């Protein structure tokens, strides 16, 4: 069994992961450690504090006890506000503590787009505009163009975690654009793992969500991405789990 350890900030949609683990019937183990949060706010200064090295190292030390094959910092905004170099430093610090490969959700978005040969995207962001623009710049630095963005101005992760599946679907549909090859949904505070297929049906194209790409990247780091059901296009090209 592959074990992907997750560092998750605070409480919002962390239950997405154990629910998925249960649905996968032992295919993947997803131990999760909640990292400390200063202020729950989608504001740049609060996000820089959320993703600082001391918080992640403390969580990583606890997660090491689960003996993961790879570790993911399951936070998009708390990684992209640092830029790609800063996000790489974050991941390197976690890897050093745990002793296995590590990455983050922001890096996972870039790598998932490239794996699917996607370079023009729409973004359905829960964040305020100024925070969402940091994600746009993070993608642009990797050669991925954002042709349309919906920023929904939600300030706290806790509020994002209360969005219903229908609200998430409406948000994603509203952000879509005819020129976009995929729609990216960048907040791990949003429950999405049970509705990825619904999102793709609603838009008629690939949808990449934060919790989905986090899992995918963790499995890739661990050595093998299996083909998993009901997790969208990204997991249709994985290796057979047989």
The full 3-state SS of 190-214, as one line of letters, equals CCCCCCHHHHHHHHCCEEEEHHHHH
Are 93 and 123 part of one and the same domain? no
**Distance, CA of 189 to CA of 137 (rounded, Å):** 21
- Cβ pair 75, 105 in contact under 8 A: yes
Are 127 and 156 part of one and the same domain? yes
Which range marks the domain in which residue 9 is found? 2-107+211-235
**Distance, CA of 13 to CA of 42 (rounded, Å):** 15
Are 129 and 66 part of one and the same domain? no
pLDDT of residue 242: 33
DSSP character at residue 72: E
Number of domains in the chain: 2
Q: Residue 224 — pLDDT band, cuts 50, 70, 90?
A: confident
pLDDT averaged over every residue in the chain: 95
Are 203 and 217 part of one and the same domain? no
CATH number at residue 117: 3.40.50.12500
Query: Is residue 34's pLDDT more than 60?
Result: yes
Are 179 and 227 part of one and the same domain? no
Q: Residues 169, 3, 99, 55: what is their CA dihedral angle, to the nearest 10 degrees?
A: 40
Find, among 211, 195, 215, the residue nearest to 203 by Cα.
Answer: 195
Residue 65 in any domain: the answer is yes
Residue 240 in any domain: the answer is no
- Calculate the alpha carbon distances from 135 to 47, 67, 107, 215 in Å: 13, 31, 11, 19
Q: What is the pLDDT of residues 127-181, one digit of tens each?
A: 999 999 999 999 999 999 999 999 899 989 999 999 999 999 999 999 999 999 9
- Calculate the alpha carbon distances from 208 to 102, 172, 197 in Å: 20, 10, 10
**Distance, CA of 102 to CA of 122 (rounded, Å):** 27
Are 113 and 184 part of one and the same domain? yes
């Amino acid at each position: 069994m592959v074990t992907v350890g997750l560092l998750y900030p605070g409480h919002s949609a962390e239950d997405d992961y154990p629910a998925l683990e249960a649905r996968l019937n032992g295919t993947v183990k997803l131990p999760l450690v909640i990292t400390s949060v200063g202020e729950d706010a989608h504001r740049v200064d609060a996000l820089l504090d959320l993703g600082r090295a001391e918080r992640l190292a403390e969580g990583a030390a606890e997660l090491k006890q689960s003996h993961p094959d790879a570790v993911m910092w399951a936070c998009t905004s708390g990684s992209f506000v640092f830029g790609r170099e800063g996000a790489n430093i974050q991941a390197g610090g976690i890897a050093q503590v745990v002793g296995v490969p590590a990455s983050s959700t922001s890096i996972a978005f870039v790598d998932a787009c490239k794996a699917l040969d996607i370079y023009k995207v729409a973004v359905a962001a829960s964040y305020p505009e100024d925070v969402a623009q940091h994600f746009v710049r993070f993608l642009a630095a990797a050669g991925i163009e954002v042709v349309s963005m919906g920023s929904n101005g939600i300030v706290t992760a806790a509020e994002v975690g209360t969005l219903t599946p229908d609200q998430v679907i409406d948000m994603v549909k509203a952000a879509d654009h005819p020129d976009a090859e995929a729609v990216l949904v960048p907040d791990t505070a949003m429950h999405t793992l049970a509705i990825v297929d619904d999102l793709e049906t609603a838009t008629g194209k690939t949808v990449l969500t934060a919790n989905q790409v986090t899992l995918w990247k963790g499995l890739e780091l661990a050595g093998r991405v299996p083909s998993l059901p009901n997790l969208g296009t990204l997991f249709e090209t994985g290796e057979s789990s047989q």
